[in-house]
Structure 1
Amino acid sequence: MNGSYSNASESSSSSLNSSSHDTEDDLTIATVLAEEEKQKSDGRLGKRLSHLDSIPHTPRVNGEIPDVNDATQDHKRLSERLATYDLSELQIEGDGNCQFRAIADQLFRNPDYHKHVRKQVIKQLKHHRKLYEAYVPMKYKSYLRKMKKKGEWGDHLTLQAAADRFGAKICLITSFRDTCYIEILPKDRNPTRELWLSFWSEVHYNSLYATADVPTRSPRKKHWLF
């Protein structure tokens, strides 16, 4: 009996260790990819678009989703802006994880690392509660539980937490009528990289590239379109 229990425990422990090693290997690979891509693309878009004026970023939870007519008009406005600056979107799946997928693509050139990005953002929000709590119009623990869930939409607060966690300046080209460009800067250090996203206001995030540099990857599922 004890021998069987011991064998089962060893097997379970071995399985957990194997899973842990796999996760560590994935994150090591992701880190290497991030550094390689950072060296290739550092400041490329920033230099091209340095003339754009940004507005101060206010962390906040999501607002109301626009109706079909407003969303369609917003998307047209965003598309025209991207064309003006010779930018193109890598289309990201519209599965509720789009913000985290777009950030993962910018960091690791792989949207599938979105679970890691979400986990790191939640860790930042949890361990530095005083920085973010005032922006959450609900019980903070309830907000964290909600944001942990796969498919829960990211908001402007998770963008700030991502900027803080990864030491990144997050640059948003938006579909807002009066706000073309938003910069989210880390609160406690100088950014070491830039992440470029398009933001179809309150609807969807995509990963941004200079038109000539868009990767050939394509989403496995249809992205947001009306």
Structure 2
Amino acid sequence: MSGEQDHVSKSSSSSISSSTQESEEEVSVTIGSLLAQAKNGSGHSLGKRLSHLGSIPYTPRVNGKIPNVDNATLDHERLLERLGTYGLAEFQIEGDGNCQFRALADQIFRNPDYHKHVRKAVMKQLKEFRKQYESYVPMEYKVYLKRMKRSGEWGDHLTLQAAADRFGAKICLLTSFRDTCLIEIVPRDLTPTKELWLSFWCEVHYNSLYGIDDLLTRKTKKKHWLF
């Protein structure tokens, strides 16, 4: 997220510019191959297991208030009960403010360390298609974008919609909401090519979601240099 240092000589600037361009091209190839692997992989999907659950109509929104300790504890217990009921398990994601993007990165790339790439892709979507998203933001849109681009800034349901749109994926949230077990976020203008499953301890934390057997056999893919 930080800017590059100023360089004294024009020759060194030119060299760095050339190196950066080559690196970006290499990154593009790497990401493309990883996405192809994810699309053509083992077909990780929990949809059939939870097909009987009705999902609510989804409206993108920014984050709400963090619940107090008592309510948060009850919410977490409710989520754990649902995980047990449906034979699901969480791959635990680091709680550093990047949990939504880390969980998405784990689902897409099988490696939460790609969270910076996911956030960058989401920000690009939000900037390029501003008219689709700005009405959901209760503040100046530029202020929202500036804040959301920072590492450690919590993702919200608007960034989930942007991620669904950018990656052509249906994002399914098993939630701790009392009256809402399942939320599905679908791309606006695309037929989804994959499903991404997250658990959502409401307004507190996201984890990556698997069937119990799938989690036991899950392997983290090697991280390529991206940033």
- Measured after TM superposition, the shift of residue 123 of structure 1 is 1.1
Partner of 2:3: none
For structure 2, the 5+ residue unaligned runs are 1-7, 221-227
Q: Does the C-alpha gap of structure 1 residues 176 and 41 become closer, same or farther in structure 2, counting only changes over 3 Å?
A: farther
Q: Which runs of 4+ in 1 moved over 6 A?
A: none
| In structure 2, C-alpha distance between the alignment counterparts of 1:100 and 1:152, rounded to whole Å | 10
Distance apart, 1:49 and its partner CA: 1.9
**Superposition map of 1:1-226 within 5 A:** 8-42=9-43, 44-214=45-215, 215=218
**Contact 2:110–2:219 (Cα < 8 Å) also in 1:** no
The whole-number CA distance in structure 2 between the counterparts of 1:108 and 1:32 is 10
Q: In structure 1, give the amino acid aligned to 2:82.
A: R
Q: Give 3-state SS (helix, strand or coil) of 1:40's partner.
A: coil
Identity level (%) = 66
Contiguous gaps of at least 5 residues in structure 1: 1-6, 218-226
**Aligned residue pairs: how many?**
211
Q: C-alpha deviations, 1:38-93, integer Å up to 9, x for none?
A: 32233631222222211111100000001111111111110110111111111111
What secondary structure, in the 3-state scheme, does the structure 2 residue paired with 1:18 have?
helix
In 2: Cα distance, 1:206 partner to 1:73 partner: 18
* C-alpha deviation, 1:11, in angstroms: 2.6
TM-score normalised by structure 2 residue count: 0.87
Range with bigger deviation, 46-55 or 185-194: 46-55
Q: Which amino acid aligns with 2:157?
A: H
**TM-score (ref. length: structure 1):** 0.87
What is the aligned-residue RMSD (CA, Å)? 1.7
CA-CA distance at 1:216 after TM superposition: 5.5
Query: Partners of 1:17 and 1:110 in 2: how far apart?
Result: 29
| Letter in structure 1 aligned against 2:94 | E
